[in-house]
Amino acid sequence: MDQATDAPLKKTPLNARHRALGARMVPFGGWDMPVEYSGITAEHLAVRERAGLFDVSHMGQIEIAGSNALDAVQRISCNDASKLQIGQAQYSGLLTPAGTFVDDLLVYRLGPQHFMLVVNASHIEKDFAVISEGITPAGDAVAVNVSARYALIAVQGPKALEIVQPLTGIDLASMKYYWFAHGEIAHVRGTVSRTGYTGEDGFEIFVPPQQADAVWLALMASGEQFGMIPCGLGARDTLRLEAAMSLHGNDIDDTRTPVEAGLDWIVGWKKDSFVGSDVLKQQKADGTAQKLIGFEMIDRGIGRQGYTIYSGEEAVGVVTSGTQTPYLKKAIGLGYVSAALAVPGTEIDIDIRGRRLKAKVVPTPFYKRTK
């Protein structure tokens, strides 16, 4: 991670709650976070079948406002923020001039010229510096790191709507995916967004840190009859991987572009130039040497991050994420291979600690909710 390892770990407003619940805590991106409570498998299955509650308060928030805020956001993010209506969010990338990922993020349009970016925990300071510099040419727009103003709690799973709705006057049933609204949740002013990182329906709830524990307890009480349980970062990782959602630091980083990562759909191809746009357009026209693929193991074994991928005797790429998934009960993963091999059905070999084990390229996502 970027922070010095001897720096004290930061704590979310729910840290004491996690410890009281007996969570196993680990350092993650400079934060002291729960990796699991009852076990990754149980937590993963709860989210697929019922619901899970996550503390994701370590995520950062950066607001951009000013009369040229839209222009500012358009310059520094790769997706087309002009398509957003007020109350709508989009997945996007903060890129280097080489088109590679400084970070991935969600862009929320709070007002005509007012945006909030939700960024990864370990990159808050770096992102803020890159954004502050990148928006300068836009003129009247400022970026403010408002991460300390928010706790962020996610309720994910098919029962999420039934669990959150009784606690708020916001009409959640009519809220579309990737939309959000402000209101009261468990008697606390906040924002509810129909987003998540699990491949399930669900909500992410922004509330002031001082009230985070009260909201957490209200959600736990509301979720009890539906079998909702608290979930840690371990299940969050296996859930997002089944849904083939990229993780920065694994599947995307400052050596990979959205085109290589199969994220062409978060590039605003029709908007004016933005940081990295020249490279992306070139890659779209010429293709890239490598592409991100999903794979499933044929032989028994788990291909994990950093393992080399072979086609015959030739090293053709690297695994970026891999696990045995609790729900599909298969060993799956993501990795980069030569573009010619990025075709479902192609057999590859993965060097698993000195043994070459067979795998095949499969379509992603591995898991898609039925609805």
Partner 1 sequence: MAYPAGFKYTKDHEWIELSGDEGKVGITDFAQAQLGDVVYLELPEVGTVLKAGQTFGNIESVKAVSELYAPVSGEVVEVNAALKEKPEAVNSDPHASWMVVIKLSDLSETGTLLDVTQYSDLVK
| Residue nearer to partner 1 on the CB measure, 114 or 356 | 356
Asked if 333 touches partner 1 (CB under 8 A), the answer is: no
Nearest to 308 by CA among 339, 337, 350: 350
Read off φ and ψ for residue 6, nearest 5 degrees.
Answer: -90, 0
> Residue 252: which of 322, 336, 362 has the closest Cα?
336
Looking at the Cβ atoms of 329 and 371, the one nearer to partner 1 is 329
353 touches partner 1 by CB under 8 A: yes
Q: Does 354 bind partner 1 (CB under 8 A)?
A: no
Phi, psi of 329 (to 5 degrees): 55, 45
Question: Residue 249: which residues within 8 A CB-CB, separation 6 or more?
Answer: 120, 122
Q: Which residues 16-35 are close enough to bind partner 1 by CB under 8 A? A: 24, 35
CB of 103 to partner 1, least distance (A): 24
Candidate residues 33, 76, 331, 334; the one interacting with partner 1 per rule CB under 8 A: 331
Contact between 234 and partner 1 by CB under 8 A: the answer reads yes
Task: Name the nearest CA neighbour of 156 among 252, 249, 56, 57.
Answer: 56
Between residues 164 and 332, which has the closer beta carbon with respect to partner 1? Answer: 332
Token representation of residue 20: 């009281």
Q: Which is nearer to partner 1, 45 or 221 (CB)?
A: 45
Site for partner 1 in 291-320 (CB under 8 A): 300-302, 304
The residue count for the chain: 371
Instruction: Using CB under 8 A, count the residues that bind partner 1.
Output: 18
Q: Is 201 helix (H, G, I), strand (E, B) or coil?
A: coil
Q: What is the side-by-side order of every strand in the sheet holding 229-230?
A: 180-185, 188-193, 202-207, 151-156, 52-55, 229-230
* 268 counts as binding partner 1 under rule CB under 8 A: no
Question: Based on CB atoms, which residue is closest to partner 1, 276 or 326?
Answer: 326
Q: Does residue 209 touch partner 1 according to CB under 8 A?
A: no
Q: Which is nearer to partner 1, 24 or 149 (CB)?
A: 24
The crossing angle, in degrees rounded to 10, of helices 124-134 and 69-76 is: 120
Q: Does 326 bind partner 1 (CB under 8 A)?
A: yes
- Scan residues 37-56 and list those touching partner 1 (CB under 8 A): 39-41, 44
Q: Does 238 participate in binding partner 1 (rule CB under 8 A)? A: yes
Name the region of 244 (left: φ>0; alpha: ψ -120 to 50; beta: rest). Answer: left
Listed residue (116, 54, 118, 62) closest to 87, CA to CA: 116
* C-alpha count within 13 angstroms, C-beta hemisphere, residue 244: 19
Q: Rounded distance, CA 206 to CA 150, Å?
A: 6
CB of residue 41 vs partner 1: minimum separation in angstroms? 4
Q: Which is nearer to partner 1, 244 or 342 (CB)?
A: 244
Q: How far is the CB of 61 from partner 1 (least distance, A)?
A: 28
Tell me if 350 contacts partner 1 by CB under 8 A.
Answer: no
- Cβ distance to partner 1 smaller for residue 13 or 249: 249
Dist CA 339 CA 359 (whole Å): 17
Question: Which member of 12, 31, 36, 335 binds partner 1 (CB under 8 A)?
Answer: 36
Choosing from 88, 311, 324, 338, the residue that interacts with partner 1 (CB under 8 A) is 324
Q: Which CB atom, from 40 or from 218, has the smaller least distance to partner 1?
A: 40
- Footprint of partner 1 on this chain (CB under 8 A)? 24, 35-36, 39-41, 44, 234, 238, 300-302, 304, 323-324, 326, 331, 353
